[in-house]
Structure 1
Amino acid sequence: MRQVDGTECLTAGDSRSPSQLPQTVPAAIGRTVPPGYIHLGVAKEIVPTLRGFGVDPEPVIREAGLDPRLFDDAMSVIPFAALGRLYTLCVTRTACVHFGLLVGQRASILSLGLVGRLMQHSHTVGDALRALVSNLSTQDRAVVPALTSRDGTALLTFAAYQADSGSGTQILDAALGVTVNILRTLCGSSWNPTEVLLLRVAPPDAEPYRRHFRAPVRFNQEIAAIVLPARDLDIRVARADPMMRALLQERIQQLKSAQGSEFSDDIRRLLRTRLTSNHCSADDIAHLLTMHRRTLSRRLKGSGIGYRAITNEIRFEIARQLLTDTQVPFAQIAAALGYSEASAFTRAFRRWSGQTPTAWRTEGHHE
């Protein structure tokens, strides 16, 4: 356990139960975060990770366009475009392709601010993960989580929202790294996932991933996800405080009400995790938002963009990431994005980018 700015921070190796963690909620955690920005949160660990490589963090942070003093406070708000630049620079300076994983494994449940506090006071692990999915946007709008459960297996998926080429890999590695720490805080330090799926090319040395996750790791996947037994969702969170949970839920709801994000941005975030699961028609999204299909269209029209245009925008973003960060075959990418055949995907990608998927991948849009 260490202290930063008077607030205790749980280290990755801290195995105390949630009831033994700090119970107060610093006022600073209550700041809202606008679209395009994140609270520093997990990324605060970039500084000690750089120092671990003998690299002075300040020049690197400045080169990314950020003030190094922001990293004194996990609740500092920064543009996630700057975070992407910073991760890219960190990988270059350290020559470490799993830099994001090292950042994530240093972080903890308290790195997620109010959302982390709510998770530590949730009734069950499933409730905690659903709280993460529902509320992470108040803390971090660069990552979009989703939770699904089927046939005895639960899948906690993460998508990097509007990440630049290369930086999405690091952002997702960090998200998966800290989430496994969080699950070990909630379930016990001996907990391990069934397997971990990574949306990235296999690195020369996969041992850091196997060592942290303590589970089979599969690279070149269409999604980044933690796979766990569905029964683990029913694990009770030890000595969670219902009164604290209610207070935290109320505080987060107030933040969400004040957030004022654009409706089209909310739709983009929903599509980012659903486009590859074929549950993304306008009717599906309208049903998810408990509104009529015509209401969805009308509200999007007010934002100046149609549903099909947003869908194509997100398809292009996912396609770029899969072509850049993985070696997933084109036919598999086409199927993941809902195309009946690879040729239809190729035509669409050429329309979006002016290039074929083959040209895009071979021109070296890689880390």
Structure 2
Amino acid sequence: MASLLRLPALLAAMGADPDGVIRAGGGDPAAFDDPDKTMPFPVLGRLLDHCARATGCPYLGLELGRRAGLDALGVLGEIAQTAPDLGSALRFFILHLHLHDRGAVPLLWERGDQAMLGYVIHWPDVPGTEQIYDGTVAIIYNILKSLAGPGWRPNGVWLHRPPPEDKAPYRDHFQTRLHFAAQHAAVGFRAEDLRRPLPGSDALAYAAGLREVEALEAFRDVDLHEHIQRVLRRLLIAGAPASELRLEPVAALFGLHVRTLNRRLRAEGTSFKALLDETRYRIARQLLRDTQLPMQELAITLGYADVTAFIRAFRRWSGVSPTAWRSLRRRAT
């Protein structure tokens, strides 16, 4: 809830009754008193979509996101500020954001002299994704500015939403080149900025923070298959090669023999292949719905050797081709 705590005040500033609007949108006003409470992604999406319509503000997600930054990430934000450089801080987020946000995955691309930090929702069938992505990209921009320090500038911002009638709020916040109806929701910057030292860098504090996060990871009481799916999501979104999406390397990550991992997954009623298929299907549906990525790039993102293998697998999961699924979903909305 940390990134949503300013929603009641924002609604009041827009002349709405915060409690009434939040209740009508399916939320609980009392939840906005505690940053450690959680809200399922579908509930979040419906709430933000309702608030945007209730206030007549189509960029409500942007207005909410521009009011948040590292503070919305709690202890993760505090630890990241002590990293040695910007790249280390961002990779720290990518590895550990699931402790804070279990419905989406951050992305870091490097292509030549350019880098992009983005965000992909992998929870299926989430409404209001335009508002979620607008808010998240605004937060990403604020986080990058806070971490990199004075003088840092992005070289572009990419947003999923179609071009709005009023672009002024977006220009005012991002102050850079805007790309609407984009394939990714992301902030772009120079790749060399990843080596930029952080003003708050502190080697001892960063090492202590990493130990703290490791303790949080160990404390989480979840089944093995949930841990496996979390790792698979990170590997897929990070563009891991197909060689890393096999049973052997994943078992090695957990310090388990392949037979031991198989046995424990069978005891939980599943298998490694089933978990990989389920994870790929979930990410594929979200990317088909929320991006314009061509089938070839989707296949690569999901770790397939070629687009034919991806299309065949998607048809097996859903009964239709990915192109047909994307078309049906867009006609439905």
State the TM-score, normalizing by the size of structure 2: 0.81
| Paired residues of 1:165 and 1:366 also in contact (CA < 8 A) | no
Residue 196 (1) aligns with residue 161 (2): no
Superposed CA deviations along residues 54-80 of structure 1, whole A, max 9, x for unmatched, are: 222212322344321221232223333
State the SS of the aligned residue for 1:228.
Answer: strand
Q: Among 269, 280, 295, which residue is 1:304 paired with?
A: 269
Give percent identity, aligned residues only.
35
Q: Among 5, 20, 41, which residue is 2:2 paired with?
A: 41
Letter paired with 1:255:
L
Superposed CA deviations along residues 235-280 of structure 1, whole A, max 9, x for unmatched, are: 2222444454444334333222111233323333333354363625
Structure 1 pair 355/279, CA: closer, same or farther in 2 (3 Å)?
same
- In structure 1, how many angstroms separate the alpha carbons of the residues matched to 2:263 and 2:121? 28
Instruction: Point out the more displaced range, 199-208 or 54-63.
Output: 199-208
Structure 1 pair 323/92, CA: closer, same or farther in 2 (3 Å)?
farther
State the SS of the aligned residue for 1:54.
Answer: coil
| Paired residues of 1:84 and 1:163 also in contact (CA < 8 A) | no
Letter paired with 1:318:
I
Structure 1 pair 302/227, CA: closer, same or farther in 2 (3 Å)?
farther
- In structure 1, how many angstroms separate the alpha carbons of the residues matched to 2:331 and 2:123? 16
Residue 229 (1) aligns with residue 194 (2): no
| Paired residues of 1:184 and 1:191 also in contact (CA < 8 A) | yes
Structure 1 pair 302/67, CA: closer, same or farther in 2 (3 Å)?
same
Q: Which residue of 2 aligns with 1:67?
A: 28
Shift of 1:175: 2.3
| Paired residues of 1:70 and 1:76 also in contact (CA < 8 A) | yes
| Paired residues of 2:81 and 2:200 also in contact (CA < 8 A) | no
Shift of 1:290: 6.2
- In structure 2, how many angstroms separate the alpha carbons of the residues matched to 1:93 and 1:284? 49
- In structure 2, how many angstroms separate the alpha carbons of the residues matched to 1:301 and 1:216? 51
Structure 1 pair 126/330, CA: closer, same or farther in 2 (3 Å)?
closer
Letter paired with 1:260:
D
State the SS of the aligned residue for 1:238.
Answer: coil
Residue 159 (1) aligns with residue 117 (2): no
Q: Which residue of 2 aligns with 1:340?
A: 306
- In structure 2, how many angstroms separate the alpha carbons of the residues matched to 1:288 and 1:206? 46
Q: Which residue of 2 aligns with 1:319?
A: 284
Q: Which residue of 2 aligns with 1:271?
A: 232
- In structure 2, how many angstroms separate the alpha carbons of the residues matched to 1:262 and 1:325? 30
Q: Among 178, 181, 190, which residue is 2:139 paired with?
A: 178
| Paired residues of 2:121 and 2:286 also in contact (CA < 8 A) | no
5+ residue gaps in structure 2? none
Residue 257 (1) aligns with residue 218 (2): yes
Instruction: Point out the more displaced range, 268-277 or 328-337.
Output: 328-337
Q: Pairwise CA RMSD of aligned residues?
A: 3.3
- In structure 1, how many angstroms separate the alpha carbons of the residues matched to 2:110 and 2:250? 19
- In structure 2, how many angstroms separate the alpha carbons of the residues matched to 1:354 and 1:130? 37
Residue 91 (1) aligns with residue 52 (2): yes
Q: Which residue of 1 aligns with 2:174?
A: 213
Instruction: Point out the more displaced range, 85-94 or 145-154.
Output: 145-154
Instruction: Point out the more displaced range, 109-118 or 86-95.
Output: 86-95
Instruction: Point out the more displaced range, 99-108 or 111-120.
Output: 99-108
| Paired residues of 1:105 and 1:178 also in contact (CA < 8 A) | yes
Superposed CA deviations along residues 340-362 of structure 1, whole A, max 9, x for unmatched, are: 346x6555444433455436524
Structure 1 pair 50/196, CA: closer, same or farther in 2 (3 Å)?
same
Q: Among 309, 314, 324, which residue is 1:358 paired with?
A: 324
Structure 1 pair 292/88, CA: closer, same or farther in 2 (3 Å)?
farther
Structure 1 pair 313/207, CA: closer, same or farther in 2 (3 Å)?
farther
- In structure 2, how many angstroms separate the alpha carbons of the residues matched to 1:206 and 1:292? 54
| Paired residues of 2:106 and 2:117 also in contact (CA < 8 A) | yes
5+ residue gaps in structure 1? 1-39
Shift of 1:133: 1.9
- What is the number of residues matched between the two proteins? 327
Question: Matches of residues 7-156 of structure 1 in structure 2 within 5 Å?
Answer: 40-149=1-110, 151-156=112-117
